[in-house]
Amino acid sequence: MNLEPVFSELLVGSLRKWSERKVDECILSISVPVSQTDPLTTLPLIAEKHQFRFLWDLSPEFCISAGGHCQSLDLSGPKRFENAQRFSDEIFTRLIDTSPSPAFSASRILFSFSFFDQIKSNEKSIDDKFSLQAVLPKWQLTAKDGLTWLRLNSIVQNPSDVREATERLWSTREKINRSPGRIVHDLKENFLIDNFSDDWKSQYRDALAKGIELINAGSLDKLVLATRQRLFLKKPLDPLNLLARLRVQQTNSCRFLWQKNHDESFFGASPERLISLNKNMLSIDALAGTAKKGDDGKELLASSKDLREHHFVVNSIVEQLLRKGIKASHSSQPKLITQGHLIHLHTLIQAYVRETAPLDLVQALHPTPAVAGLPLSKSLSWLRALESFDRQTYASPIGWIDKNQNSEFRVAIRYGYVRGNELKLFAGAGLVKGSTVDGEMQEVALKFEVLRNQLNLDKVNFSNDL
């Protein structure tokens, strides 16, 4: 089948579809195949005139990059998930897809939520609320199975708008075809440190001690306390260089980027699917329990403490689904999953669902006990009290919904936030009966070590994490 487009046919098809519109202000979505190219390396080209950039990287199987806003909605407050689903439904009602394209390249709305529905009133970085958004991007580049498609979303009001959008898409297609994959990222780049803060250690020790006291007293079954380390770089880092490296180091993960502008972004490599919906098949990753340094996973599989922590997560997810009328299946015992140098306990939970709004499921499942605790309401209150910072988008849902209501959301862990020369790394540990302060400090120190190694940070400055 010859997929090579002809400009005149593309324009005629777009004009015809627009003329058949059922709403006055529609969103035209035009797509064309391009030469096989990597959405990660081509992201600077499609987003060169835009501040917003997004990456969803499951390469070599699947990758999406996006740039610019066509339509967006700021999200906060207790109704943020309902508002986001309403926004998604309304956008797809107005969207006119003018050209036939593979299902994998469908238009997507991108979402980033905060962990809590409101940012702490005493948090200085209130402007970080930029990341709490739903975005229909201006540009979308999608690659799967050796095929790559470019898509432009644009608001059109008259035939001249249709022609202008089609010409812009065609011009960008030609740019990509002339220089596919030419932007090479330096996988050996060393991010030099000017200074770093170690104040997380004493604060985190105190929080862990109080958390374990609550667990042992029976007030909580589980509590997941997070902390962060602040680093100051000699020059701003390019998150795409880091994400290209994570492809090699974190193969069992989804690498993600949400970039407000060239100076500010958050990114990570999440092994944990909050939900994945594909043609009514729901898949969820229950991930809890981390092997100690030097453990190949055998001790982890035999650890009553870690197995208890893991089963809390699995049982909670299954119960939440049952409340939605969804009966899920899963194996009785977890398996090991390796992500870089970290080994975790993992259980795949699956179910068949009918006509369920993706964000209704996200709302029901976020946050899981893997990143919060049990009972949930009491755990969230204690996280607010014991953590000295606002989580903002750390451990929060990030993902997308396409026009067919297929979707995927990940839990934003293995996470870094950068603004200018300041980099913040985030990590956490789950407390259950049997947890110790020293043991949890060692787990978090290991997670920070893995994150820093991926950045090629100067290890001389980090000789002792405890």
**Three-class DSSP category at 420:** coil
Question: Omega before 78 cis (within 30°)?
Answer: no
Backbone torsions φ then ψ of 398, nearest 5 degrees: -135, 140
Which burial class, exposed, middle or buried, applies to 1 when counting CB atoms under 10 A from its CB (0-12, 13-18, 19+)?
A: exposed
According to the model, what pLDDT value does residue 121 have? 58
Query: In terms of Cα–Cα distance, which of 265, 65, 260, 10 is closest to 181?
Result: 65
Count of positions (residues) in the chain: 466
According to the model, what pLDDT value does residue 463 have? 44
Number of C-beta neighbours around residue 5 at 10 A: 18
Positions marked active-site? 222, 272
Extract the tokens encoding 463: 């000789």
Residue 110 DSSP code: E
Extract the tokens encoding 194: 């000017």
Spacing of C-alpha 332 from chain mean position: 28
pTM of the model: 0.92
Helix (H) or strand (E) holding 376: helix 376-386
Dist CA 455 CA 460 (whole Å): 14
According to the model, what pLDDT value does residue 245 have? 85
According to the model, what pLDDT value does residue 22 have? 75
Task: Name, in order, each residue with C-beta under 8 angstroms of 203's C-beta and a sequence gap of 6 or more.
Answer: 227, 388
Dist CA 242 CA 170 (whole Å): 31
According to the model, what pLDDT value does residue 331 have? 92
Query: What is the DSSP secondary-structure string of 358-373?
Result: HHHHHHHHSSPTTTSE
Dist CA 82 CA 357 (whole Å): 10
What are the pLDDT tens digits along the chain (466 aa)? Answer: 445 678 888 999 899 988 888 777 889 999 999 998 999 999 999 998 899 999 999 988 999 999 999 999 998 888 999 999 999 999 999 999 988 889 999 999 999 999 998 776 555 444 444 446 899 999 999 999 999 999 999 999 999 999 999 999 999 999 999 875 555 555 555 556 655 666 788 899 999 999 999 999 999 999 999 999 988 888 888 888 888 888 888 888 999 999 988 888 999 999 999 999 998 999 999 988 888 878 888 999 998 988 988 998 999 999 999 999 999 999 989 999 887 778 889 999 999 998 789 999 999 999 998 899 999 999 999 999 999 899 999 999 999 999 988 999 999 998 999 998 889 999 999 998 999 999 999 989 888 887 777 766 654 454 445 4
Query: In terms of Cα–Cα distance, which of 372, 454, 373, 357 is closest to 415?
Result: 454
According to the model, what pLDDT value does residue 130 have? 45
Evaluated on CA atoms 320, 116, 286, 386, the torsion sign reads negative
Residue 117 DSSP code: S
Task: Name, in order, each residue with C-beta under 8 angstroms of 20's C-beta and a sequence gap of 6 or more.
Answer: none
According to the model, what pLDDT value does residue 187 have? 52
CA-CA-CA-CA torsion for 445, 450, 455, 458, nearest 10 degrees? 50
According to the model, what pLDDT value does residue 448 have? 85
